[in-house]
């Protein structure tokens, strides 16, 4: 690659952008960045200006001659880019509020990447990411796409499978959080342990080994996780309800924090319903308040580093995994990174062409997955169910197939099939009408039938065109 890298970040007005800049600044000796293009949509223009100004101040304070460009023209930002990072949210946080509140209004989980909410985030996002791939093929055909946009696994698989873009790596901050926090549970440092992950995004498990001896210490880590006085690294956006000891001991591998939505489904639903029915609102409404506070801080012309408040946003360590991935590719470093990539036999329980989230060695040729081997019985069954559900969601997103969507609903443990589940899906279609043109005919049919949205907050957002 040429000296002086051009980085394009789509969704550049995100509150995560200062953390991304911090990651590039820390790795400037390995990543000779010269220009960063932050691109967003018109509705995000004000935030783009605010966060872009902070990004430039961060680079200036670091003493590096890097220019931050701000634009609403995605093609301009993509032209001749070396790396493209994606961290966008179609419909902004108001769309996430809808994704959460509509399922909760029918007593089902409302969550950003799980259940009906996660399915609809994918339906809105996949057509956009495929448009981006088409533009990359024309404007920066040699660029790598590093995706952080959720639901990261489905978005990444769509890029590779439907978009045919092989130079793509999908990322999530959950594995790196575990690798940084879990060593403390057994009085170790991160470099004293070796982690091996396998699954799909937000639905993976891992094992842990001693770097010195090769001895497996997974059970010791599980014992530490069950100690209520210790922090097991569960992401800030997930209620840390303890897993059942006997289940973890029998499983023999460590589930990620998001498995609570499946292993502890009723408890997590009850927790979410309390927020939905209470004054604090759903997680999206809480995040919106944090974002408002963050952007007030970002506006301070004296601020030259990311504020501590950003850690409450839920994406801690994003910059480290994203920029380390780019550094690994650029320098052909073959660095161990947990990412979403093509399976190629790493998990024999899924097809070779499945996009899985696994421990990989990342270098100039992209991610080379590490073989994990067969999963235990329950994990294997759950993984195959969830991966097939996701494939149906991807099909629905690309083809606008209502039938595929209903099949996905029937498979998803968070959307028990029946009249209420269908009602949730229909209301979400109406609520996201502006971002689901592939379902235009079905939405018109629902409107003609007089289907209406039950949740008052969502109705108000729709009435205001949000």
**Alpha-carbon gap, residue 458 to 427, rounded angstroms:** 10
Cβ 322 vs Cβ 146: under 8 Å: yes
> pLDDT for 99-128, tens place per residue?
999 999 999 999 999 999 999 999 999 999
Closest CA to 129 of 72, 176, 78: 78
Cβ 364 vs Cβ 332: under 8 Å: yes
* Reported confidence tier of residue 1, pLDDT bands at 50, 70, 90: very low
Which 8-state DSSP code applies to residue 212?
T
* Reported confidence tier of residue 314, pLDDT bands at 50, 70, 90: low
Q: Is the confidence at residue 2, as pLDDT, over 70?
A: no
**Alpha-carbon gap, residue 198 to 206, rounded angstroms:** 6
- Per-residue pLDDT at 436: 98
- Per-residue pLDDT at 308: 83
Ramachandran quadrant class, 371 (left: phi over 0; alpha: psi -120 to 50; beta: rest): beta
What the block records as the tokens of 65 is 């001659």
CB-count burial class (<10 Å; 0-12, 13-18, 19+) for 142? exposed
Q: Tokens 């769309």 appear where?
A: 95
Pick 383 or 227 by higher pLDDT.
Answer: 383
Q: Is the confidence at residue 3, as pLDDT, over 80?
A: no
Indicate the helix (H) or strand (E) that contains 84. strand 83-86
**3-state percent helix, strand, coil for the chain, nearest multiple of 5:** 50, 15, 35
> pLDDT for 208-239, tens place per residue?
999 999 999 999 999 999 988 888 778 878 88
Cβ 80 vs Cβ 5: under 8 Å: no
> pLDDT for 169-206, tens place per residue?
999 999 999 999 999 999 999 999 999 999 999 999 99
Cβ 185 vs Cβ 221: under 8 Å: yes
- Catalytic annotation, pick one of 16, 258, 261, 330: 258
Q: Is the confidence at residue 386, as pLDDT, over 50?
A: yes
Across 151-182, b (16+ Cβ under 10 Å) vs e yields: bbbbbbbbbbbbbebebbbbbbbbbbbbbebb
The chain-wide mean pLDDT, for the chain, equals 95
- Per-residue pLDDT at 316: 64
Q: Is the confidence at residue 261, as pLDDT, over 80?
A: yes
Q: Is the confidence at residue 311, as pLDDT, over 90?
A: no
- Per-residue pLDDT at 139: 98
* Reported confidence tier of residue 271, pLDDT bands at 50, 70, 90: very high
> pLDDT for 319-361, tens place per residue?
889 999 999 999 999 999 999 999 999 999 999 999 999 999 9
Which residues are CB-contacts of 60 (< 8 A; sequence separation ≥ 6)? Answer: 304
Q: Is the confidence at residue 7, as pLDDT, over 50?
A: yes
Measured in residues, the chain has a length of: 466
Beta bridge partners of 336: 361
Mean pLDDT of 285-300: 94
> pLDDT for 153-165, tens place per residue?
999 999 999 999 9
Domains recognised in the chain with CATH numbers: 5-169 (3.40.50.720)
What the block records as the tokens of 325 is 């991935």
> pLDDT for 409-454, tens place per residue?
999 999 988 899 999 999 999 999 999 999 999 999 999 999 999 9
Q: Is the confidence at residue 51, as pLDDT, over 70?
A: yes
Closest CA to 446 of 460, 431, 459: 431
**263 counts as catalytic:** no
CA angle 52, 53, 55 (to 5 degrees): 60
Percent residues over pLDDT 90 in the chain: 92
């Amino acid at each position: 690659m040429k000296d002086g890298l051009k980085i394009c970040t789509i969704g550049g007005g995100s509150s995560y952008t200062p953390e991304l800049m911090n990651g590039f600044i820390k790795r400037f000796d390995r990543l000779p960045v010269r220009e960063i293009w932050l691109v967003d949509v018109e509705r995000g223009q004000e935030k783009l200006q605010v966060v872009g100004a902070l990004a430039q101040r961060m680079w200036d304070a670091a003493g590096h001659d890097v220019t931050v460009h701000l634009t609403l023209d995605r093609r301009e930002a993509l032209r001749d880019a070396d790396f493209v990072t994606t961290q966008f949210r179609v419909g902004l946080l108001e769309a996430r509020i809808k994704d959460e509140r509509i399922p909760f209004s029918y007593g089902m989980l409302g969550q950003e990447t799980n259940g009906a909410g996660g399915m609809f985030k994918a339906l809105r996002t996949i057509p956009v990411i495929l448009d981006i791939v088409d533009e990359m093929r024309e404007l920066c055909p040699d660029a790598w796409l590093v995706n952080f946009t959720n639901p990261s696994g489905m978005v990444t698989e769509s890029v590779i499978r439907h978009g045919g873009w092989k130079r793509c790596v999908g990322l999530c901050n959950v594995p790196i959080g575990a690798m940084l926090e879990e060593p403390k549970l057994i009085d170790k440092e991160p470099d004293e342990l070796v982690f091996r992950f396998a699954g799909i995004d937000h639905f993976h498990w891992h094992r842990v080994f001693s770097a010195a001896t090769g001895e497996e210490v997974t059970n010791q880590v599980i014992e530490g996780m069950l100690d209520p006085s210790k922090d097991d690294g569960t992401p800030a956006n997930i209620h840390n309800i303890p897993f059942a000891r006997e289940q973890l001991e029998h499983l023999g591998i460590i589930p990620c924090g998001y498995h609570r939505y499946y292993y502890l489904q009723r408890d997590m639903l009850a927790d979410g319903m309390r927020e939905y029915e209470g004054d604090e609102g759903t997680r999206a409404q809480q995040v919106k308040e944090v974002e408002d506070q963050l952007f007030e801080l970002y506006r301070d012309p004296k601020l030259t580093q990311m504020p501590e408040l950003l850690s409450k946003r839920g994406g801690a360590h994003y910059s480290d995994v994203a920029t380390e991935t780019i550094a690994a590719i650029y320098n052909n470093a073959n660095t161990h990174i947990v990412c979403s990539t093509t399976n190629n036999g790493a998990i024999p329980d899924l097809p070779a062409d499945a996009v899985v989230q696994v421990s990989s060695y990342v270098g100039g040729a992209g991610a080379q997955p590490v073989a994990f081997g067969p999963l235990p019985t329950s994990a294997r069954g759950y993984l195959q169910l969830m991966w097939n559900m996701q494939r149906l969601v991807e099909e629905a997103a690309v083809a606008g197939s209502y039938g595929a969507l209903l099949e996905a609903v029937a498979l998803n443990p968070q959307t028990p099939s029946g009249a209420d589940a269908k009602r949730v899906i229909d209301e979400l279609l109406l609520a996201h009408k502006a971002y689901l043109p592939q379902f235009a005919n079905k939405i018109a049919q629902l409107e003609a039938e007089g289907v209406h949205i039950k949740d008052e907050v969502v109705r108000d957002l729709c009435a205001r065109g949000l």
